[in-house]
């Protein structure tokens, strides 16, 4: 069975909290990273789709559409202005439940600050079965360009 790395980013829509997970086959990790890094323009540190103009957004999405990745979007009810952690926890628990059918060896989450990152780690530790091995960490998009994949898909 092929191992996968998962990259996670969140977005908020009216009434909905969305967590997008992009799975990259581990053997394709270097190749995928190379393609994403090549899409970063000189002077940019990362790609954040909402900060790009529409023609560039289309170009990025065409490039990403040719990659050998899969994505899953988890959604939970959320009212803007409320604490988003309960909605995020629901999405993280749904992701963990799906690991039986779509296993991950590594899970990389976009950081949201030390306190919120700790809450993610607690949620994941409690939700993961004791015998399930998945490494997870929070890494910024400057350090991990593949976080631009769930950002682009989850828009």
Residue 129's pLDDT is 85
2 pLDDT more than 70:
no
pLDDT 10s digits, 23-80: 999 999 999 999 999 999 999 988 989 889 999 999 999 999 999 999 999 999 999 8
98 three-state secondary structure: helix
Angle at 117 between CA 13 and CA 73, to 5 degrees: 35
Determine the CATH number of domain 4-153.
3.30.420.10
* Average pLDDT score, the chain: 93
Residue 132's pLDDT is 80
> Residues 71-99: what's their mean pLDDT?
95
Short-list 134, 65, 68, CA closest to 96 = 134
Q: How far is CA 91 from CA 28, 84, 87, 113, in A?
A: 26, 11, 6, 18
Spatial distance between the Cα atoms of 20 and 150, rounded to a whole number of angstroms: 5
* Domain boundaries along the sequence of the chain: 4-153
Task: Supply the angle between the helices 54-65 and 29-39 in degrees, to the nearest 10.
Answer: 170
Chain-centroid distance, C-alpha 19: 7
35 three-state secondary structure: helix
Residue 30's pLDDT is 96
């Amino acid at each position: 069975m092929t191992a996968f790395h998962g990259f996670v980013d969140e977005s908020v829509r009216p009434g909905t909290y969305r967590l997008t997970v992009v799975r990259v086959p581990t053997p394709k990790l270097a190749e995928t990273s190379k393609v994403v890094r090549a899409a970063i323009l000189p002077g940019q540190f990362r790609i954040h789709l909402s900060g790009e103009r529409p023609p560039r957004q289309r170009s990025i999405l065409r490039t990403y559409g040719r990659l050998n990745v899969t994505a899953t979007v988890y959604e939970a009810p959320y009212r803007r202005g409320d604490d988003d952690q309960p909605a995020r926890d629901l999405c993280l628990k749904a992701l963990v439940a799906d690991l039986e059918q779509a296993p991950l060896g590594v899970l990389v989450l976009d950081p949201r600050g030390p306190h919120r990152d700790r809450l993610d780690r607690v949620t994941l530790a409690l939700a993961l079965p004791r015998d399930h091995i998945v490494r997870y960490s929070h890494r910024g998009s400057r350090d991990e360009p593949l976080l631009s994949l769930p950002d682009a898909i989850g828009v």
